[in-house]
Amino acid sequence: MPKPETWLKVTPHGLFCVPGDFYLDPIRTVPKAIVTHGHADHARPGHEAVIATPETIEIAKMRMGINTWKNTEPLKYGRNFKFNGVDISLEPAGHVIGSAQVVLTYKGSRVVVSGDYKRRQDPTCDQFKVIQCDAFITEATFALPVFRHPDDHTEIKKLLASLERNPDRTHLIGAYALGKAQRVIALLRKAGYQSPIFLHGAINKVCDLYKKLGVPLGELKSVSHANKKDLIGQIVIAPPSATRDRWSRRFTNPIICFASGWMQIRQRTRQRGVELPLIISDHADWDELTQTVVEVEAPDIWVTHGREEALIHYAETKGIRARALSMIGYEEQNE
């Protein structure tokens, strides 16, 4: 059985499968790629041929244009695809809709490229599946023991309580446009919030796609068609950057909220001028990461982007070999 590092290598273009002759989430344009999910730092434009889940392909088309990838091979969760002697399958990563772990098997050696992932329930996507393997490639966005995301229902309750306390103000929630925004909406609906939710244009577009893909989000409205008065006492969701720029001046005295795992840290809250921090993350927290590196039973853990050092240290204390891949080009500010 070949060792994983002999057939899977880090190159300036990204992770490269040598026998398969394809890249994983390449950061530059390549002939053949497998893309784990639709976030901009993982799904980049211009590749010749791409294997991804049908949802990820839809997201890429919406974000970058119908012809961004010349040839696409939609691969559903759990189906197999053989390519240049490498067995490929995609399994849910629980990160955003369509997000996948890529399971590669070559001559009996199995590597799982998890992309970005989280372990907890998310009403907008399939739950992460543990796949035992010989090498597990993990992110490390929140890989410090200070990151322990609370239950998302308590965070939503905080938001609903604030709405009740401040009926005269607009709650302006900064949430990443793909994934986080829809999850916040779905969680609000689950908690019984029935009113229409107002959206920034960038989020509206993604929500339409989610609906098309079968995720119910309730009544949504565009902010640009609403006047100031209608927004009093309502929830508006916008990309985090928009909550800080001119766009947000259309609201009178809004309460600035931010849904992100970074909100665990007080200084981050303060740096951003956030008044209502909502610790809701689409990435695994410390407990989820450490649980995962143990459960996959892989003798080798490779860590991509984030706080690699801590996770590697943890794995080593558990007798697991771990190393940093030092991949660049993956953003963590998108959380």
Partner 1 sequence: MRAFSELLDNLNCTPQRNGRIRLLINYFEKEQDPNRGWAVAILTGGLELPNAKTSVIRRLISARTDQKLFELSYEYVGDLAETVSLLWPNTSNNKTHLNLTNVIKDLQRANRKTFYDLVGNTLDKIDTSERFAFLKLIMGNLRVGVSARLVKLALAEYGDKQPSEIEELWFGLKPPYQDLFAWLEAKAPPPIINDKLIFRPLMLANPITKDALMDLKHQDFVAEWKWDGIRAILVGDGKECKLYSRTGDDIGQAFPDIVRVTKFRGVVDGELLVVREGVVAPFNDLQKRLGRKKPSKKLLEEYPAHFRVYDMLFNHDVDLRSKSLIDRRTKLKHWVDAIASTQIDFSSQINFSNWEELSAIRDRARANGIEGLMLKQINSPYLPGRPKGPWFKWKRDPLVADCVLMYAQRGHGKRSSFYSDYTFGCWRNTVDGVDELVPVGKAYSGFTNTELVEIDRWVRANEKERFGPVRAVEVGLVFEVAFDAVHISSRHKSGLAMRFPRIHRIRWDKPAHDADRVESLLQLV
Give residues in contact with Zn ion (CB under 5 A): 39, 116, 330
Neighbours of 312 (CB within 10 A): 21
Q: Binding of partner 1 at residue 259 (CB under 8 A)?
A: no
Q: Binding of partner 1 at residue 170 (CB under 8 A)?
A: no
> Could you tell me if residue 238 is left (phi over 0), alpha (psi between -120 and 50 degrees) or otherwise beta?
beta
Q: Binding of partner 1 at residue 252 (CB under 8 A)?
A: no
Nearest approach, Cβ of residue 240 and Zn ion (Å): 14
CA dihedral 118, 145, 265, 97 (to 10 degrees): 0
Q: Binding of partner 1 at residue 151 (CB under 8 A)?
A: no
C-alpha triplet 96, 100, 106: angle, nearest 5°: 170
Q: Binding of partner 1 at residue 249 (CB under 8 A)?
A: no
Q: 124 vs 189, 288, 307, CA distance in Å?
A: 12, 19, 27
Q: Residue 198 binds which entry of Zn ion, partner 1, none, with Cβ cut-offs from 5 to 8 Å by kind? A: none
Nearest approach, Cβ of residue 272 and partner 1 (Å): 9
Q: CA-CA distance, 219 to 216, in Å (whole number)?
A: 9
- Strand ordering across the sheet containing 220-222: 220-222, 197-199, 235-238, 171-174, 255-259, 276-278
Q: Residue 153 binds which entry of partner 1, Zn ion, none, with Cβ cut-offs from 5 to 8 Å by kind? A: none
Q: Binding of partner 1 at residue 120 (CB under 8 A)?
A: no
> Could you tell me if residue 326 is left (phi over 0), alpha (psi between -120 and 50 degrees) or otherwise beta?
left
Q: CA-CA distance, 242 to 200, in Å (whole number)?
A: 9
Q: Do the Cβ atoms of 173 and 211 come closer than 8 Å?
A: no
Q: Residue 48 binds which entry of Zn ion, partner 1, none, with Cβ cut-offs from 5 to 8 Å by kind? A: none
Residue number with CB closer to Zn ion (56 or 290): 56
Residue number with CB closer to Zn ion (32 or 283): 283
Total number of residues that touch partner 1 (CB under 8 A): 24
Nearest approach, Cβ of residue 277 and partner 1 (Å): 7
Q: Quick one: which of 273, 295, 318, 321 contacts partner 1 (CB under 8 A)?
A: 273
Q: Residue 266 binds which entry of Zn ion, partner 1, none, with Cβ cut-offs from 5 to 8 Å by kind? A: partner 1
Nearest approach, Cβ of residue 270 and partner 1 (Å): 6
Q: Quick one: which of 157, 195, 309, 318 contacts partner 1 (CB under 8 A)?
A: 309
Catalog residues that contact partner 1 under the rule CB under 8 A. 144-146, 148, 264-271, 273-277, 307, 309-310, 313-314, 317, 328
